[in-house]
């Protein structure tokens, strides 16, 4: 359970702020005041991508709202016995990737664990937030378990931060029963018929049946579900607060108005299914039958009717399984009414307290068209023949167990059966017996006779028809009257007396039984204990019958609880000291005995009990101390704290229990609750409230010392100053001024870094002179790009190998020098300055690469594009140099000297690349992958590009906030190598147009090379 936090509810805020609230109401939350006995489950509803795609983004919200409204109605059914509201406080549409990661196919346990942890991560940290949820419901169409599994949930997980959640398979509106069923588990309900005796209700549509058979026209909560819920509901504190109102779209009263039978068939069985039209002899509202156009004579149903309000024929709609006319006068339902009471029957017992009953029927009229059952009880009971039976007292429940001694066998053996009271209130009226010989507890598979006491702790409530009927001490059903401590109905203990004493005796005979004292019939609240540790054993005997109640053999030294002479006794042995207790009253007198284990050892016992003063003469003179029973009364103790700190609040009187004899305040349980005065109220703190304002704390330390991620945070609260000099925090909506920023960037400076160099590459030539390269990167200690001081180390150097055979090194060098200096090759790089190569195309000095992506080998082919060459001038110069300096290549010299405008062969010219850029989906759960370079500018999308369909693809990306999920997708007939377009590299309009001309000239050569060479595929990783 989440921790309880003191809340500033709207009702507790000052009147002055209420005026402000009206102005802000449209955009803010407000409390919905629930009824006193309502429980509110505030639900986070998560809908995964499979559900969103099936129903469509524009329709899924209304669909799931309708579904949850049905769940809410299911929890309003009177058979539950408690009024529970399902309140939707937040809805999340989970994206595709998140949906796939949460649901592990075929593993429901793991899927549920992941869903619950995810739901916990979505929790609003402020318990007063309008979207703070108590319970999460996750809907999916993915198969998270074996075939047929519809839901999964932890039992009794409600209010627990990690266990209050359910995983549900959505397949139409009947899934509402799955959600209600799984939420029932979280509330503590078990399957009907599994560990309880409600298997007979599953076929009648009980919600908690292991195989859910409930339908819209036939569902109820079983008696076991009701009992199990009552066992736990009071411990779920998170359900006690009032929910806030949320402005969800208003839906029609009858959900089927918005959904045809064809649509409901599609929801139930999948795309293509429609209402079955193969046969028309049935009422379409009895059951929804569906078929697929591929096999129209094969019809399917989930054995439930269409939704109420579904059109069944012109002018008619379905309602609770019937096709009725749509008329303004038509009542949606017919509630049931009671018949008159029958006469009381005969008494269930002739003496000792029996019960008689009368009944009525819900047939005046009978509920119809979904109308409510009759409110109230079907049977009414009266106590009868309450006088004691003649002869020795006999426990009625014990009689029913002992009757089985002669014929009932357990484990092929007959036993002596004693009464046993189950700790579960739901099973108090079942006949359960315990073997005297083995201690085994056995259910006898039947309820006790009418008139049997429900519990040995309650002398008046009795069982009737298997249920416990509450009676007061005045023998009236539903009465709250109780006996006082000495048995006076509604008394004030004024006639009660306390009897207590201490006796010390020594054994007169060896191995004899020592009689200590007697306690008379009518005694209550009996306590007997040893004053000091001894090896002696306690024993108790019924004085009237002579039968032992405790320690018949005098050797029982184990603590236990047992039932004798109609009472529950508690015998404890703690640190060697024995104690016996019972609440009474004794129906017959008892004798307390000691069985000595050592003849030299004295026995010392103290005893205490309460008895009515009229029974005192029966005690005799036994050296006892008689005390008058203390009497108590309610007295004013203090005033409660004012409900409001300002603006007028209310405070109430607090009463305490006072002992009359000395006027001292004592524990409240000693006073009679029925006589407690009603609290007095008065107004308080009538002064006006001050206007709340923002108060910001000091900025915290920066999260980083350098880099791009440093942030500072501070606490900003809406504070109201009170007249007594104190402050209180109120909701942020009551501060009208602009809220100060709670976070800001800080230390956004480059981190200190140093140059890091890689190893030199192999020489580009095997003989003569060549080129070696290495990577030089400026990186900080955390492996991010930083700012380095000092000159950048060399990235390229000349290497000299052995002279080439048959060639003159001088001729090669001369040819190269001549080629590089010729003005007819303006695109050729120069070797004069390896550090700052001059870009002959741009005529600007190269200051190094402007992007880390320039170092990718796959992009080297785009160096002939002026815009790319300018962006990656350093890398482009490196890539071209080895080609220029290949020794012995006369072709190279011819190509370098080629006249301007000639067709230049290229391994894979950029015109052949047509990457397909897939726009990112806008679902919340899909991760968005940003383009590596932030240059998807409007300038590029407006120009003529190398491939026109690349332009359109990038235009789509730009319209989706520049988010791409798949870069470099291969066109069916094109190479899939990465391109500068797919990476978002900018080009100016002029240079791109120039390149279009060159690319067009090169296209024929490209096609020829494509037919001859094997295509190589490249994947651009983002």
List, for residues 636-672, the tens digit of each pLDDT value. Answer: 888 888 888 788 889 989 899 988 877 888 888 888 8
According to the 3-state scheme, what is the secondary structure of 678-730?
CCCEEEECCCCCCCCEEEECCCCCCCCCCCCCCEEECCEEEEEECCCCCEEEC
Q: Give 359's pLDDT tier (boundaries 50, 70, 90).
A: very high
Last residue of a domain, one of 251, 268, 303: 251
List, for residues 519-539, the tens digit of each pLDDT value. Answer: 998 899 999 998 888 888 888
Q: Give 883's pLDDT tier (boundaries 50, 70, 90).
A: very low
CA distance 919 to 965: 6
Q: Residue 712: inside a domain, yes or no?
A: no
CA distance 933 to 347: 92
Contacts of 927 (CB under 8 A, 6+ apart): 97, 965
The predicted structure's pLDDT at residue 109: 92
Q: Residue 429: inside a domain, yes or no?
A: yes
Contacts of 780 (CB under 8 A, 6+ apart): 706, 707, 750, 751, 752, 753, 786
- Is 134 annotated to bind a ligand? Reply is yes
Please give the average per-residue pLDDT across 984-1010, as a whole number.
35
Contacts of 762 (CB under 8 A, 6+ apart): 772
Indicate whether 283 and 430 sit together in one domain: no
The predicted structure's pLDDT at residue 600: 63
Last residue of a domain, one of 896, 918, 933: 896
The predicted structure's pLDDT at residue 18: 42
Q: Give 509's pLDDT tier (boundaries 50, 70, 90).
A: low
The predicted structure's pLDDT at residue 582: 93
Contact (Cβ atoms closer than 8 angstroms) between residue 126 and residue 82: no
Indicate whether 871 and 939 sit together in one domain: no
Indicate whether 869 and 953 sit together in one domain: no
- Is 191 annotated to bind a ligand? Reply is yes
- Is 185 annotated to bind a ligand? Reply is yes
Indicate whether 211 and 287 sit together in one domain: no
Q: Residue 717: inside a domain, yes or no?
A: no
Backbone angles phi, psi at 857, to 5 degrees: -60, -35
Q: Residue 345: inside a domain, yes or no?
A: no
Please give the average per-residue pLDDT across 46-54, as a whole number.
94
- Is 165 annotated to bind a ligand? Reply is no
CA distances from residue 338 to 320, 400, 989 in whole angstroms, order as listed = 22, 36, 87
Q: What is the CATH number for 277?
A: 3.40.1620.60
Q: What is the mean pLDDT of the chain?
A: 76
- Is 55 annotated to bind a ligand? Reply is no
Cis geometry, peptide bond prior to residue 585 (ω within 30 degrees of 0): yes
Beta-bridge partners for 876: none
Lowest mean pLDDT among 48-52, 69-73, 784-788: 784-788
Instruction: Indicate the number of domains in the chain.
Output: 7
Indicate whether 600 and 616 sit together in one domain: yes
Please give the average per-residue pLDDT across 799-820, as a whole number.
55
Indicate whether 196 and 89 sit together in one domain: yes
Indicate whether 177 and 305 sit together in one domain: no
Q: Residue 799: inside a domain, yes or no?
A: yes
Q: Give 434's pLDDT tier (boundaries 50, 70, 90).
A: very high
CA 571 to chain centre: 45
- Is 789 annotated to bind a ligand? Reply is no
Lowest mean pLDDT among 491-495, 629-633, 796-800: 629-633
The predicted structure's pLDDT at residue 977: 34
Q: Residue 699: inside a domain, yes or no?
A: no
Rg (CA), the chain: 44
pLDDT exceeds 50 at position 897:
no
- Is 76 annotated to bind a ligand? Reply is no
Contact (Cβ atoms closer than 8 angstroms) between residue 320 and residue 217: yes
Question: Residue 842 is encoded by which pair of tokens?
Answer: 């741009």
Indicate whether 403 and 306 sit together in one domain: no
The predicted structure's pLDDT at residue 617: 59
Q: Give 31's pLDDT tier (boundaries 50, 70, 90).
A: very low
Mode of pairing for the β-strands spanning 311-313 and 453-455 = unpaired
Backbone angles phi, psi at 891, to 5 degrees: -60, -40
pLDDT exceeds 50 at position 5:
no
Q: What is the CATH number for 508?
A: 2.60.120.830
Please give the average per-residue pLDDT across 282-291, as a whole number.
86
Indicate whether 540 and 602 sit together in one domain: yes
**Does this model's pTM top 0.85?**
no
582 conformational bin, left if phi > 0, alpha if psi -120 to 50, beta if neither: beta
Q: What is the CATH number for 868?
A: 2.20.100.10
The predicted structure's pLDDT at residue 861: 75
Indicate whether 619 and 640 sit together in one domain: no
Last residue of a domain, one of 313, 332, 352: 313
Q: Is 182 a catalytic residue?
A: yes
- Residue 421: give the domain boundaries: 391-469
The predicted structure's pLDDT at residue 879: 63
What DSSP element (H or E) covers 354?
strand 354-359
The predicted structure's pLDDT at residue 878: 77
Q: Residue 71: inside a domain, yes or no?
A: yes
DSSP one-letter string for 180-223 = HHHHHHHTTPPPTTSSSS-GGGGGGTBTT-SS---BTTB-B--H
The predicted structure's pLDDT at residue 237: 87
Lowest mean pLDDT among 50-64, 141-155, 269-283: 269-283
The predicted structure's pLDDT at residue 882: 38
CA distance 1 to 84: 18
Q: Which of 182, 228, 263, 421 is catalytic?
A: 182
Indicate whether 88 and 142 sit together in one domain: yes
Q: Give 727's pLDDT tier (boundaries 50, 70, 90).
A: confident
Indicate whether 861 and 985 sit together in one domain: no
Contact (Cβ atoms closer than 8 angstroms) between residue 533 and residue 578: no
Q: Residue 372: inside a domain, yes or no?
A: no
CA distance 895 to 25: 77
Widest distance between CA atoms in the chain: 142
Q: Between 202 and 253, name the one with better pLDDT.
A: 202
CA distance 387 to 390: 9
pLDDT exceeds 60 at position 858:
yes
């Amino acid at each position: 359970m989440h921790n309880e936090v003191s809340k500033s509810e709207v009702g507790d805020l000052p009147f002055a702020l209420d005026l402000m609230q009206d102005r802000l109401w449209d955009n803010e939350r407000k409390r919905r005041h629930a009824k006193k006995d309502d429980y509110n489950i505030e639900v986070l509803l998560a809908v995964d991508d499979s559900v969103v795609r099936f129903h469509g983004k524009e329709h899924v919200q209304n669909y799931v709202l309708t579904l949850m409204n049905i769940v809410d109605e299911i929890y309003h059914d009177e058979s539950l016995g408690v009024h529970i509201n399902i309140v939707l406080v937040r809805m999340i549409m989970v994206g595709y990737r998140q949906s796939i990661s949460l649901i592990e196919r075929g593993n429901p346990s793991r899927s549920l664990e992941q869903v619950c942890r995810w739901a916990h991560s979505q929790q609003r940290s402020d318990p007063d937030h309008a979207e703070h949820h108590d319970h999460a419901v996750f809907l999916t169409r993915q198969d998270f378990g074996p075939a047929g599994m519809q839901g999964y949930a932890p039992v009794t997980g409600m209010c627990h931060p990690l266990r209050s959640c359910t995983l549900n398979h959505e397949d139409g509106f009947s899934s509402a029963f799955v959600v209600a069923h799984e939420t029932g588990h979280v509330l503590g309900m078990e399957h009907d018929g599994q560990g309880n005796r409600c298997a007979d209700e599953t076929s009648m549509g009980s919600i908690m049946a292991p195989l859910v058979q409930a339908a819209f026209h036939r569902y109820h909560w079983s008696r076991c579900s009701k009992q199990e819920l009552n066992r736990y509901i009071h411990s779920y504190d998170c359900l006690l607060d009032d929910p806030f109102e949320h402005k969800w779209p208003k839906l029609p009263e009858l959900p089927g108005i918005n959904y045809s039978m064809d649509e409901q068939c599609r929801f139930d069985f999948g795309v293509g299914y429609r209402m079955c039209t193969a046969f028309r002899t049935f009422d379409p509202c009895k059951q929804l039958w569906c078929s697929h156009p591929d096999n129209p004579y094969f019809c399917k149903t989930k054995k439930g009717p269409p939704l109420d309000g579904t059109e069944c024929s012109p002018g008619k709609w379905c309602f609770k399984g019937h096709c009725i006319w749509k008329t303004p006068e038509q009542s949606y339902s017919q509630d049931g009414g009671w018949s008159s009471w029958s006469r009381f029957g005969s008494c269930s017992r002739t003496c000792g307290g029996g019960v008689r009953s009368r009944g009525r029927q819900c047939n005046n009229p009978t509920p119809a068209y979904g109308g409510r059952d009759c409110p109230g009880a079907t049977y009414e009971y009266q106590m009868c023949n309450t006088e004691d039976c003649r002869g020795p007292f006999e426990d009625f429940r014990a009689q029913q167990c002992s009757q089985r001694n002669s014929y009932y066998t357990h484990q092929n053996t007959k036993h002596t059966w004693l009464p046993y009271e189950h700790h579960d209130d739901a099973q108090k009226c079942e006949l359960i017996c315990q073997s005297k010989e083995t201690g085994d507890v056995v259910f006898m598979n039947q309820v006790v006779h009418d008139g049997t006491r429900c519990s040995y702790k309650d002398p008046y409530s009795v069982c009737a028809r298997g249920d416990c009927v509450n009676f007061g001490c005045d023998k009236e059903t539903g009465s709250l009257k109780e006996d006082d401590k000495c048995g006076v109905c509604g008394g004030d203990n004024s006639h009660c007396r306390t009897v207590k004493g201490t006796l010390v005796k020594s054994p007169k005979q060896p191995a004899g039984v020592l009689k200590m004292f007697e306690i008379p019939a009518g005694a209550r609240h009996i306590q007997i204990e040893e004053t000091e540790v001894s090896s002696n054993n306690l024993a108790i005997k019924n004085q009237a019958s002579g039968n032992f109640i405790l320690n018949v053999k005098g050797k029982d030294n184990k603590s236990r609880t047992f039932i004798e002479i109609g009472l529950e006794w508690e015998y404890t042995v703690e640190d060697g000291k024995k104690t016996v207790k019972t609440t009474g009253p004794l129906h017959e007198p008892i004798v307390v005995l000691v069985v000595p284990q050592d003849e030299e050892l004295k026995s010392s016992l103290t005893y205490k009990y309460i008895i009515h003063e009229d029974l005192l003469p029966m005690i005799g003179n036994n050296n006892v101390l008689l005390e008058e029973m203390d009497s108590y009364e309610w007295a004013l103790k203090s005033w409660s704290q004012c409900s409001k700190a300002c603006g007028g609040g209310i405070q109430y009187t607090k009463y305490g229990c006072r002992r009359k004899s000395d006027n001292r305040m004592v524990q409240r349980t000693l006073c009679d609750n029925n006589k407690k005065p009603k609290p007095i109220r008065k107004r308080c703190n009538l002064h006006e409230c001050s206007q709340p304002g923002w108060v910001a704390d000091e900025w915290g330390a920066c999260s980083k010392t350098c880099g791009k991620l440093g942030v500072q945070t501070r606490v900003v609260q809406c504070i109201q100053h009170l007249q007594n000099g104190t402050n209180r925090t109120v909701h942020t909506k009551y501060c009208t001024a602009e809220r100060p920023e709670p976070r800001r960037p800080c230390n956004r400076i480059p981190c200190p870094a140093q140059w890091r160099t890689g190893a030199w590459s192999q020489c580009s030539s095997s003989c003569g002179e060549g080129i070696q390269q290495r990577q030089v990167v400026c990186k900080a200690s955390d492996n991010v790009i930083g700012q380095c001081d000092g000159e950048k180390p060399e990235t390229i150097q000349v290497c000299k190998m052995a002279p080439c055979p048959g060639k003159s090194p001088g001729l090669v060098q001369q040819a190269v020098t001549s080629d590089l200096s010729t003005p007819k090759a303006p695109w050729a790089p120069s070797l004069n300055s390896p550090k700052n190569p001059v870009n002959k195309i741009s005529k600007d000095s190269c200051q190094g690469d402007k992007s880390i992506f320039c170092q990718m080998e796959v992009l080297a082919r785009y160096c002939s594009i002026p815009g790319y060459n300018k962006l990656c001038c350093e890398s482009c110069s490196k890539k071209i140099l080895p080609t220029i300096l290949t020794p012995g290549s006369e072709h190279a010299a011819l190509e370098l000297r080629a006249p301007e405008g000639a067709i230049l062969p290229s391994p894979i010219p950029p015109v052949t690349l047509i990457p397909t850029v897939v726009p990112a989906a806008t679902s919340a759960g899909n991760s968005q992958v940003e383009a590596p370079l932030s240059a998807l500018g409007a300038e590029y999308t407006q120009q003529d590009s190398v491939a026109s369909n690349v332009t359109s693809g990038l235009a789509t990306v730009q319209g989706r906030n520049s988010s791409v999920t798949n870069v470099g997708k291969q066109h069916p007939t094109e190479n899939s190598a990465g391109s500068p377009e797919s990476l978002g590299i900018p080009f100016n309009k002029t240079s791109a147009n120039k390149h279009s001309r060159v690319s067009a000239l090169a296209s024929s050569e490209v096609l020829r090379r494509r037919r001859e060479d094997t295509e190589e595929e490249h994947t651009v990783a983002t």
